[in-house]
Amino acid sequence: MRLKLIAAALAASFAMPAMAADDAVLAELKRLSARLEMLEKQNKELEKALASERLSEKEPELATRVKHLEAQVDAVKGPVTKLIEATDGIEVEGSLIAVGQKVGARGTASGLDESRTNYRGDLTVSMPFGSMGDSEGKFFTHFRFGQGNGVGLRTTYTSTPNTTAFQTGAGADDSFAILAQAWYQLAMPLGGKDSGQRLDLTVGKIDPFGFFDQNAAADDESAKFMNNAFVHNPLLDSGGDIGADAYGFQPGAILQYVNETERGSEWGLSLGAFASDNGANFSGSPRASFVIGQAEMNTRLNMLPGTVRAYVWSNSRAQNYDGVQRSNKGWGISADQKVLEDLTLFGRYGRHTSGYVLFDRALTLGAELEGTAWRRSADSLGIAFGSLRTSKDFQRDSLTVDADGDATADYGYQASGSEKQTELYYRFKLNDGIELSPNFQWIRNPGGDATASTVKVLGVRAKLGF
């Protein structure tokens, strides 16, 4: 009996601490449960408060702070979003070009050695502007400024060895900008937005060479050839048939059909009508006196891209070499083709069919080689050759022709043969924004004068662009 009592006492002594431990655990669980219920209640109150945009003194402080922060973010986000939407699709490009050239006394109009520098700046802005259904509009503006007319050559068919030269009519002390271009274009899909066919209507003050006679290797005097005979078709530009204002721009309208249904074989048709002569600078009749039509097609040679363009033109108010205004007509071809990954060939041919002009046929050929072979892939080397054939009319009249009505011969030599041009440049890319291009030009038989010395022009061009 005594042993049983002792055993019971020992069991009770061990059970009492275990029961105490269980009570402590239960108490902690109750405390945690109460805390969880309180947090759930606060979370529901917070969710309820955040569900409403209204502020209330009865809602949790955290909800008030979150709403206040959201209001501040919305206040900033609104204008930023509007700014992003307003500037979406806007493209801005600019460049500043500086050129220095030197010509010996035998090649200048003054008969003296000449060294000249000039600079030109260009800023273009393109932005979406209006739409009608699937048709989308674009507005384009171009501002240009600069100083310096460059070297003054003796009589040549080449209008200038420096097409970058730009100076306003106010003179050398004026560097104000002009509104070079301002036009609106409406792109109208044919057969649906994704059909690959569309009509583009462009109206305003335009550089016609931005839409006609383009050439991937020879239509950018800021980076490639500078002699005007190579930049555009010489009959249109150096010869003057295009009839633009003193800066190369004119009001007009262009209708283009573009077919892009087959990749690599895109083609198009363009028709442009422009005011020329004094209509180009808005001082005369705005009637469409210069009309040009062009057909173009992308080509592939061993999977390498190229383009061929053929065009005809007529200018009913063209200025001829005898000072009389006549209707001049002609046609031309412009082609460029990559023949290797780093080599592009180009050529232009033009021919007059009517008009009294200094030269009536023009052929220019050349190439641009990228610097991949000498581990300067961003650099390029360009060379071009040109021939401008003296017209039979000018051969007959060159000794006696009076172009300005002062009863004296303006040329006074027997013109014959063809003026020939050669230009060589190397474009060295210093970094993403700066290029440097040494340039050398030869002009032989200038102005069709077989007795004249060869004109040699040495120069260098620097370009900053973005």
107 lies in a domain?
A: yes
On whether both 357 and 407 belong to a single domain, the answer is yes
On whether both 343 and 417 belong to a single domain, the answer is yes
What's the confidence (pLDDT) of residue 125?
97
Q: At how many degrees (to 10) do helices 61-87 and 2-50 cross?
A: 40
Structural domain for 82, as ranges = 23-88
On whether both 308 and 343 belong to a single domain, the answer is yes
Looking up residue 397, the CATH number of its domain turns out to be 2.40.160
How many C-beta atoms surround the C-beta of residue 271 within 10 A?
14
Stretches where the chain sits below pLDDT 70 are 1-21, 45-46, 49-87
Residue 461 is which amino acid?
Answer: R
101 lies in a domain?
A: yes
189 lies in a domain?
A: no
Domain count, the chain: 2
Global pTM value: 0.81
On whether both 76 and 107 belong to a single domain, the answer is no
On whether both 320 and 461 belong to a single domain, the answer is yes
On whether both 404 and 456 belong to a single domain, the answer is yes
32 lies in a domain?
A: yes
On whether both 276 and 308 belong to a single domain, the answer is yes
Q: State the Cα–Cα distance between residues 235 and 329, nearest whole angstrom.
A: 10
What's the confidence (pLDDT) of residue 83?
47
On whether both 82 and 112 belong to a single domain, the answer is no
What's the confidence (pLDDT) of residue 52?
67
Q: State the Cα–Cα distance between residues 120 and 146, nearest whole angstrom.
A: 4
197 lies in a domain?
A: no
What's the confidence (pLDDT) of residue 437?
98
On whether both 78 and 112 belong to a single domain, the answer is no
Residue with tokens 């070297």: 151
What's the confidence (pLDDT) of residue 133?
83
- Three-state secondary structure readout of the chain: CHHHHHHHHHHHHHHHHHHHHHHHHHHHHHHHHHHHHHHHHHHHHHHHHHCCCCCCCCCCHHHHHHHHHHHHHHHHHHHHHHHHHHHCCCEEEEEEEEEEEEECHHHECCCCCEEEEEEEEEEEEEEEEEEECCEEEEEEEEEEEEECCCCCECCCCCCCCCCCCCCCCCCCCCCCCEEEEEEEEEEEECCCCCCCEEEEEEEEEECHHHCCCCCCCCCCCCCCCCCHHHHCCCCCCCCCCCCCCCCCCEEEEEEEEEECCCCCCCEEEEEEEECCHHHCCCCCCCCCCEEEEEEEEEEEECCEEEEEEEEEEEEEEEECCCCCEEEEEEEEEEEEEEEECCEEEEEEEEEEEECCCCEEEEEEEEEEEEEHHHCEEEEEEEEEEEEEEECHHHHHHCCCCCCCCCCCCCCCCCECCEEEEEEEEEEEECCCCEEEEEEEEEEECHHHECCCCCEEEEEEEEEEEC
